[in-house]
Amino acid sequence: MKKHNFSAGPCILPEEVIKKASEAILEFNNDNLSLIEISHRSKPFVDVLKRAKELVIELLDVPNDYSVLFLQGGASLEFLMTPYNLLKKDGKCGYINTGTWSEKAIKESKKIGETLVIADSSDKNFSYIPKDYSIPNDLDYVHFTSNNTIFGTQFNHLPESNNILVCDMSSDIFSRKIDVSKFGLIYAGAQKNMGPAGATLVIVKNKVLGKTSRDIPSMLDYKIHIEKDSMFNTPPVFPIYVSMLNLQWLKKNGGINWIEKVNKRKALKLYQEIDRNKLFEGLANINDRSIMNATFKFKNNKHQERFDLMCVKKGINGLKGHRSVGGYRASMYNALKEESIDVLIEIMQQIEKENND
Ligand SMILES: *Cc1c(COP(=O)(O)O)cnc(C)c1O
The pLDDT of residue 149 is 98
Determine the distance separating the centroid of ligand 1 and the alpha carbon of 74, expressed in angstroms.
7
- Arch. (CATH architecture) of 15-253: 3-Layer(aba) Sandwich (3.40)
> CB–CB of 283/48 below 8 Å?
no
Q: pLDDT band for 2, please (50, 70, 90 cuts).
A: confident
Determine the distance separating the centroid of ligand 1 and the alpha carbon of 76, expressed in angstroms.
6
Task: Indicate which residue of 140, 168, 172, 221 is catalytic.
Answer: 168
DSSP 8-state symbol, 332: -
The per-residue DSSP string of 269-310 comes to HHHHHHHH-TTEEE-S-GGGB-SSEEEEEESSGGGHHHHHHH
Determine the distance separating the centroid of ligand 1 and the alpha carbon of 104, expressed in angstroms.
10
Give residue-wise pLDDT tens across range 42-85.
999 999 999 999 999 999 999 999 999 999 999 999 999 999 99
Task: Indicate which residue of 53, 140, 172, 192 is catalytic.
Answer: 192
Domain locations along the chain: 15-253, 255-354
> CB–CB of 308/173 below 8 Å?
no
Mean pLDDT of the chain: 97
Give residue-wise pLDDT tens across range 236-285.
999 999 999 999 999 999 999 999 999 999 999 999 999 999 999 999 99
Give residue-wise pLDDT tens across range 95-123.
999 999 999 999 999 999 999 999 999 99
Q: Pick from 146, 91, 139, 94: which is nearest to 113 by CA?
A: 91
Residue located nearest, by CA, to atom 3 of ligand 1: 75
The 3-class secondary structure across 212-229, one letter per residue, is CCCCCCHHHCHHHHHHCC
> Where does ligand 1 bind, in terms of residues with CB under 6 Å?
9, 74-76, 101, 145, 149, 168, 170-171, 189, 192
What span, in angstroms and rounded, lies between the C-alpha atoms of 283 and 275? 11
- In CATH terms, the superfamily for domain 255-354 is Aspartate Aminotransferase, domain 1 (3.90.1150.10)
Q: pLDDT band for 356, please (50, 70, 90 cuts).
A: confident
Give the DSSP H/E element, type plus range, for residue 304: helix 304-313
Q: Assess whether 101 carries a catalytic annotation.
A: yes
Beta-carbon contacts of residue 338 (< 8 Å; ≥ 6 apart): 262, 265, 266, 269
pTM for the full predicted model: 0.98
- Judged against a pLDDT cut of 70, whether residue 357 lies above it is answered with no
Determine the distance separating the centroid of ligand 1 and the alpha carbon of 83, expressed in angstroms.
17
Distances (CA, A) of 303 to 91, 166, 297, 352: 52, 42, 10, 9
The pLDDT of residue 1 is 65
Give residue-wise pLDDT tens across range 172-210.
999 999 999 999 999 999 999 999 999 999 999 999 999
